[in-house]
Structure 1
């Protein structure tokens, strides 16, 4: 049976859910976990994925990497780049690879000023201070052995130099030089309202990026090493120039620049510094916290767990990033997705409890929300680390810094040492087929070629597996170990056979088709929130004789007579799914569609309650369609949807007393639409053909439907007129045969869609969704 479409219909006729199944685990904070997979990705490093249901929030999807950073093989690294720049975690990982490191995992780091990219907290890399941060408080720090700890920041930056000024105390004006000292308020932090004394070097940017009237003193430190600030150390340099009423002074590779705004408390001191005189800049750990031993450090947003106790509060659900330290010194890089239908996110207390349940005695909340991103390299499968979570913004956000687990790249070793089997953990019904794939890696878990053919065996005999790795699940419920061997290396993976406690949903909730048409019906099976691989032959398929026939794979073919109604039945283990069928779809006739080209599409949708007339038995097929009206069409194809329960989107032009209020909220909540601006939606604006394509694609995604590409690669004469952000969506709906171009060969992306055109689009979409074929 061809599996070309997958549509997760609203629950129709069966729901078989009992408290738990054999793989059930409970984690405080996250909830009931139904998938808990683990994969070794390096010596002392494992990658984990958990999917569960939180009793308060609903579905949650967490990803984390555990690493023994104190073993000496894995190095923790804080990556920042220039302070006045931002990059995605992926870009930072790629840069580290270019510098001769291999990245095992990476996670976004500290909160930051989105305007400048400056981190909130202290940053140390390779023992050198990158920035003091604009509001330093606490950091996660790593010493030279890689051992992690929580450290409080009480660091001061001192300046000593020489001033030259006019002394008239003896009655005669004389030039006098005298030593002075001052406190540097910020290091590699932009000027702010405090009018403090700032220090910059090339960790910050190529210039001070100041504005207005400033006094900036350039100090030559002689070498790049000598301009690096370290806790407990003093650097020395020579005043190169004193620049008055200036700004944005260039910073040389060997230089530091002292800067303050004109009129500040320290402006007169900088003004009087002597060119050619010596300057000393020192950094002191005032509380002897242990920061002097830190080779890497990064600020934290909130402390979650200290000494095994939850020390936070907060009820807002968000995507979260956290770093934890277990009692044995193992460090966890953790993210949980949020603001998505398949993962709602956690509040701070839930996050703290989950980190604690994973064994953390210390845990810290980092920058979350749209910044949340975790990368990990999967052995044998990937040459470089790839992002594992899904950012809530839809694309990865640029951030200020990241924490990476790396090791030093060495000479290439092509010897296969490990056999890595994928997927890591799969749930399957008896009789279902699961494809197992094997990849080899060397002693550093880097991708290499297989040493030969892979042979497989099923431990315990629960099922069978072919020489190509196709496992057919047995009848005994529980975890099954599958072992692969190639030469003298071997590896394992698991499939969990599940028979009970399942939710089974049909791909169609009701079927509308004409005589002689067919529909390939699929069943979606889940154990809790986890998809279960199933086989159509696991179910017994029958249908009422008057409507047609159905085979053992769920392929239904309508009979030769129209105006027939009946049901399709799928039975598993005594439970029955019933799907109503209408052969020869009912129709509604409007006065103005009797001779219209779209009569069939309009009449069918109207009979199903999807399309409505405009009063007086008129449909107005050639009238233009609004953005809100098309949203309503989409919503009405989903069974039992209640748009009144959707959270307000907050658009100022969508008042609560308008008919479309609930539909716009529903569309926004499900990621189908966004505003025309941050505050407006323009519900009554006529929808363009490319806007319709975008909404339709995002709607299909929200319904877990992959549109089959049966006509891919079509190009139009006005291809360049399609907006860049709409191009992929247009290609997808055109490739699925849902929206066609014009007879002249163009698409007319900004052309306004009519009500008739929208009816045809929805009619074809429903046939694609329901697998209806001629």
Structure 2
């Protein structure tokens, strides 16, 4: 024992506990100091399932005390994987606990920001679809909406709606960007797709909608603009339905209802609508698309959100003024360790953290990469009782007083 350790023991503070307190107190991001106030036993991880642990602890932040609920996920354990929780359609919502129960996840958190209200567009219902790309089981489900049509806080400079957190074919988690690479071919001409199963399309584009979209109206796709989510809906939308490679119907307004397997509905706005008007019933049309990653990685799972931490450093421009209940993902140990982080929404803790403070909290857990997910009433963390085969329970207190139905989530699965 060193002389310093002897002095520490004499003062009644175990050396490890003092070091931990010092580490958290030094987690400074953009001028905001984040200090942990949890007793030693609250920092102990408890088992949920093989390779999955849980803890809760308090943080003293700019707006007051916040309570964090965290799942630690060991992706180095071959029995453990992450996957997308979603209600079977992109334009649909369900609670995290019901999604986890249906898909047999042992734990999870809510996911991407989503189209929750359409007050600016009279007569147009919110779709419930998420902002960013989504991948499940290695299959591309949807692309990202235009940046100006996103919901949620402003992202850090240099990032956009294509940002994702996911797990690659190598089994490691990472932050990346997924860009739609899609087109439709008719009469020997190949034309680009501006979106796939998205609640908003770029101006003058054509988007593809499949059975993965669901039964909600596609009218919202032609509303807003490339510069304003609240801009009026286009008056020149048009759609055609392609089944088994041929046009079978057309409509001057985007429709609704389930899309049959093997069919694709093409929705065009402005110049995109004019291009679709040239198609005739019986004409051959081929539709192809994929999501291409900036890193070149292939993903088995990916979900959209906002990057907040990269290479152990907070991204420039993270907000330091608005505190709220939030959900986030942290990645450490070269992508082998994942932290699913959700704040408590009980009245005592509801002031929450700023985005900069979330980045600091993730770094304090050992993350080098961090990613923000939807917050407020959406923030939910669920886990099954330790070692039990029972259904998951909600571990935090959702700030709405009950679980909010969400577009998707991040599920933890154990085989």
TM-score range, shorter chain: 0.7 to 0.9
Is 1:109–1:366's contact at 8 Å kept on the other side of the alignment?
Answer: yes
1:61 to 40, 62, 67: 67
Q: Describe the superposition over 1:322-357 as per-residue Cα deviations: whole angstroms up to 9, x where unpaired.
A: 101102421111112247214541111211111101
Note if 1:310 corresponds to 2:314: yes
Q: Is contact 1:242-1:273 (8 Å) kept? A: no
Mapped to 2, the partners of 1:71 and 1:343 lie a distance apart of: 35
Q: Which residue of 2 aligns with 1:678?
A: none
Any gaps of 5 or more consecutive residues in structure 2? 1-10, 28-33, 117-125, 147-160, 221-234
Aligned to 1:281, which of 287, 295, 299? 287
Whole-angstrom distance in 1 between the partners of 2:323 and 2:385: 29
Q: State the 1:288 CA deviation.
A: 4.9
Indicate the SS of the match to 1:323: strand
Equivalence for 2:326: 320
d(CA) in 2 for partners of 1:356, 1:404: 22
1:17-56 alignment, distance < 5 Å: 25-26=20-21, 27=24, 28=27, 29-34=34-39, 35-52=42-59, 54=60, 56=62
- Is residue 107 of structure 1 aligned with residue 109 of structure 2? yes
CA gap of 1:342–1:240, structure 2 versus 1, over 3 A, is closer
- Equivalent residue, structure 2, for 1:368: 375
Q: SS of 1:95's equivalent?
A: helix
User: Aligned with 1:269: secondary structure?
Assistant: helix
Q: 1:286 to 1:252 in 2, by over 3 A?
A: closer
Partners of 1:117 and 1:304 in 2: CA distance: 24
Distance in 1, matches of 2:400 and 2:76, equals 35
Using a 3 Å threshold, how does the CA distance of structure 1 residues 140 and 20 change in structure 2: closer, same or farther?
A: farther
3-state secondary structure, aligned to 1:267: helix
What's the offset of the Cα at 1:375? 0.4
Give the match for residue 178 of structure 2.
153
**Matching residue of 1:71:** 77
The answer to whether the Cα contact below 8 Å between 2:93 and 2:406 also exists between their aligned partners in 1 is yes
Matches within 5 A, 1:446-485: none
How do 1:264-279 and structure 2 match up within 5 A?
264-279=270-285
C-alpha contact (below 8 Å) 1:37/1:50 kept by paired residues: no
Note if 1:201 corresponds to 2:210.
Answer: yes
Deviations 1:521-574 (A, max 9, x none): xxxxxxxxxxxxxxxxxxxxxxxxxxxxxxxxxxxxxxxxxxxxxxxxxxxxxx
Q: Give the one of 91, 102, 105 matched to 2:98.
A: 91
Question: What is the TM-score when the length of structure 2 is the normalising length?
Answer: 0.77
How far apart, CA to CA, are the structure 2 residues paired with 1:332 and 1:215? Answer: 44
Q: Is the 8 A contact 2:134 2:140 kept in 1?
A: yes
For 1:84 and 1:55, locate their aligned partners in 2 and report how far apart those are by CA, in whole Å: 36
Inter-partner Cα distance in structure 2 for 1:55 and 1:93:
31
Secondary structure of the residue that 2:106 maps to in structure 1? Answer: strand
* Cα distance per residue 1:28-83 (max 9 Å; x no partner): 3342322323112222211111134x164432211111112243211211122212
Counterparts of 2:359 and 2:111, CA distance in 1: 17
Q: Does 1:299 align with 2:304?
A: yes
Q: Who is 1:137 aligned against?
A: 162
Contact 1:213 1:247 in 2 (8 A): no
Cα RMSD after superposing both structures: 2.6
Q: Give the match's secondary structure for 1:354.
A: helix
Is the Cα–Cα contact under 8 Å of residues 217 and 242 in structure 1 kept in the other structure? yes
Distance in 2 (CA, whole Å) between partners of 1:89 and 1:369 is: 14
Normalised by the size of structure 1, how large is the TM-score? 0.42
1:108 and 1:30 mapped to 2: Cα distance? 25
Measure, in 2, the Cα distance between the counterparts of 1:247 and 1:388.
Answer: 41
Indicate the SS of the match to 1:266: helix
- Contact 2:36–2:58, Cα closer than 8 Å, also in 1: no
Shift in CA distance, 242/93, structure 1 to aligned 2, threshold 3 Å: same
Contact 1:30 1:351 in 2 (8 A): no
Query: Residue 55 and residue 333 in structure 1: after superposition, are their counterparts in 2 closer, same or farther (change >3 A)?
Result: closer
Does residue 1:117 correspond to 2:128, yes or no? yes
- The answer to whether the Cα contact below 8 Å between 1:139 and 1:299 also exists between their aligned partners in 2 is yes
Shift of 1:146: 2.9
SS of match in other structure, 2:348: coil
